[in-house]
């Protein structure tokens, strides 16, 4: 078993097969929910480890004409091992025909892509990279716009070439993956064997993650003391993906 991921996929291991099958069902269900259709489009992304292994798999299941994957040596694994493992998974899923994995990112590969993700092994998307892109290509951020880092993408060059950069709305009503931040904090506390009784925890946040953590902790039995800057009006607000730039959330939590 791959310790909760598919970094060392074994097609003869029941746990690995179950994990992969569950992940596949989630992917197909999510594609259906948002009506994602990448037909006739070429996607450039990464072949990585952990949950990032699924990015090109999602594109393939969404009918992408071709998925170009870049892999490199990193602290998370050697490129040859990642490529070998990734090929086993895509062959098992029968999506290997339109997925290609490369160890070097060349201009020719960039020029083929219609959609480019700013994934870790693809970055940085600098001037040289952008000048290799086709005029109709777009960049898909793998996070929300407020998380932007200047060293990842040359915004000025994108502006000059009129390359659109599209951010993710992680709390949209269809998927709302932001809510898992709340569930994650509970799991972290449980994994650390922290008792919920007679414990005081300070949670400081400055984006919507804090809201979901707040509600999850409260649901788990936390007694909440709010300070003057706390805004818990998520239910009343029509969050548009940008309005929360102007709010900060600071919480002091006291466990009962």
Q: How confident is the model at residue 254 (pLDDT cuts 50, 70, 90)?
A: very low
Phi, psi of 112 (to 5 degrees): -80, -25
Calculate the average pLDDT of the chain.
82
Cβ-proximal residues to 47 (8 Å cutoff; 6+ apart), any chain: 53, 56, 69, 70, 71, 82, 83, 86, 101, 121
Residue 187 has pLDDT above 50, yes or no: yes
Location of each CATH 3.40.50.720 domain in the chain: 14-166
Q: How confident is the model at residue 134 (pLDDT cuts 50, 70, 90)?
A: very high
Residue 72 has pLDDT above 70, yes or no: yes
Q: How confident is the model at residue 189 (pLDDT cuts 50, 70, 90)?
A: confident
Q: Is the dihedral of CA 165, 76, 20, 71 positive or negative?
A: positive
Closest CA to 165 of 157, 174, 173, 177: 157
CATH architecture of 14-166: 3-Layer(aba) Sandwich (3.40)
Q: Measured between alpha carbons, how far is 226 from 232 in angstroms, rounded to an integer?
A: 10
Q: Measured between alpha carbons, how far is 86 from 45 in angstroms, rounded to an integer?
A: 13
Question: What is the average per-residue pLDDT within 59-83?
Answer: 93
Dig out the tokens for 241 from the structure. Answer: 């993906």
User: Does a cis peptide bond (omega within 30 degrees of 0) precede residue 124?
Assistant: yes
SS (H, E, C) 179-195: HHHHHHHHHHHHHCCCC
Question: What is the average per-residue pLDDT within 130-146?
Answer: 93
Q: How confident is the model at residue 249 (pLDDT cuts 50, 70, 90)?
A: very low
Q: Measured between alpha carbons, how far is 184 from 189 in angstroms, rounded to an integer?
A: 9
Report the percent of the chain where pLDDT is more than 70.
80
Residue 182 has pLDDT above 90, yes or no: no
Give per-residue pLDDT as tens, 22-51: 999 999 999 999 999 999 999 999 999 988
**Can you list the positions of beta strands (E) in 132-244?**
138-140, 165-166, 200-205, 222-226
Q: How confident is the model at residue 93 (pLDDT cuts 50, 70, 90)?
A: very high
Question: What is the average per-residue pLDDT within 78-96?
Answer: 91
Closest CA to 46 of 120, 135, 137, 124: 120
């Amino acid at each position: 078993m791959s310790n909760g991921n598919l970094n060392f996929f074994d097609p003869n291991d029941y746990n690995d097969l179950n994990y992969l099958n569950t992940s596949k069902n989630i992917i197909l269900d999510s594609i259906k929910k948002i009506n994602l259709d990448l037909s006739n489009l070429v996607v450039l992304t990464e072949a990585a480890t952990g949950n990032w292994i699924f990015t090109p798999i999602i594109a393939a299941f969404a009918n992408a004409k071709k998925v170009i994957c870049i892999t490199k040596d990193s602290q998370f694994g050697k490129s040859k091992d990642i490529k070998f493992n990734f090929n086993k998974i895509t062959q098992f899923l029968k999506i290997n025909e339109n997925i290609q994995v490369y160890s070097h990112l060349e201009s020719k590969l960039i020029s083929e892509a219609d959609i480019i993700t700013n994934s870790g092994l693809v970055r940085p998307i600098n001037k040289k990279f952008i000048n290799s892109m086709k005029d109709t290509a777009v960049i898909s951020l793998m996070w929300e716009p407020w998380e932007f880092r200047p060293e990842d993408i040359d915004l000025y060059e994108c502006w000059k070439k009129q390359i659109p950069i599209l951010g993710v709305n992680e709390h949209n009503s269809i998927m709302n993956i932001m809510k898992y931040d709340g569930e994650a904090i509970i799991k972290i506390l449980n994994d650390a064997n922290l008792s919920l009784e007679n414990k005081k925890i300070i949670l400081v946040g400055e984006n919507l993650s804090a809201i979901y953590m707040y509600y999850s902790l409260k649901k788990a039995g936390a007694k909440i003391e709010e300070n003057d800057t706390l805004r818990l009006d998520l239910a009343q607000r029509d969050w548009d993906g940008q309005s929360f730039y102007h709010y900060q959330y600071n919480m002091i939590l006291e466990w009962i």
